[in-house]
Structure 1
Amino acid sequence: MGEALLPRHAASHDRGRAPALFSRIAGFVASRTSARRGPPQRKPARAGAPVGTGPARAHGLSFVHEEENVLRSQTFDKGLKNRREVLGAEYVDNAIAAADDFSRPLQELVTEYCWGAVWDRPGLDRKTRSIINLAMLTALNRPHELKLHIKGALNNGLSKAEISEVLLQTAIYCGVPAAVDSFRSAREVFAQLEPVKT
């Protein structure tokens, strides 16, 4: 009945397009799947096949994939180095070791893109990036991450007085309750890091 509501030529046109559309969708899905599994294995080119097909092209695609994997590996290694230096090697190593199949992709993403692709950029020094993080995490009300990055800020050279100034300014732009919680979190971190008095 739906076809009867359309002009005859339009219905015929849509029937012709449907297989092509499904074919394109199937091709896209197949390409995404093969990308996850690595470069596809191609058959040898037939005699008279167009230039750019066959084993030579397959080798070229394989080389591109290898280059991408090398670059990603380098970025991950940089990220792991930065992450361990800022947050502490013990914390980072434990977080990665504790990752399972469910959480491992997140650990990989954070290490590669957050700490490798962004924290490794030359535009800002680590101290400035820590200041930004303290302000953002206060605004987002993420006390667990804030405590972690307060430790990171100390490792990156911020003093307690400077951290206090950062959090004081968040009271103006993020709200006093948010700043109160952040000051409380900071004091807890300072207490943990100070040597126990006997």
Structure 2
Amino acid sequence: MKKQTSRLTIIALAVALNIVLGNLALFLRLPIYLDTVGTILAATLLGPVAGIITGLCSAIFTGVTSDLFSLYFAPVQLCVGLMAGILLHNKRTAWSLPLKALLVTLPGTLVASLITVLLFGGITSSGSSMLVQVLHGLGLNQTLSVFLVQIGTDYLDKFLAISIVISAIKALPRYRQIVS
């Protein structure tokens, strides 16, 4: 029972972290999102299923309360939770942080690019839409244009999120007692 309570507490904390950091990034108009730090934290500590649950709960809560568009992009949170859980939980791979960040980023960026093109015609509220239109105007496919622009900000976002999570876990060496 204590283990289940600890897991639910970590997931709830991770959801709150996603919501607070995501809204902070929106408010400050940062070129990154910070809305997956909690998803990556839960996935790293508890595995892919916890990452997926955290991401889905975060997207639903944010979509209902403050940013409707996060509902459309919920599949991105699912991709991030899955990939972070696979690559970071129990440190199954010895790959470098930049490579792990890239592998966590790529599936979500592909999904986000498809959502942006199919549902929003390649235009979003971010300032990067202008660059997407320039690339598209130069003859690139619109999906590829969105993907190329988005991969930069997504990679930076996930690299920073993974760095924060790894640093936090290293600062709390007794976390294994909580989740075990």
Rg (Cα) greater in structure:
1
TM-score by length of 1: 0.28
RCO comparison, higher one (Cα < 8 Å, 6+): 2
TM-score by length of 2: 0.30
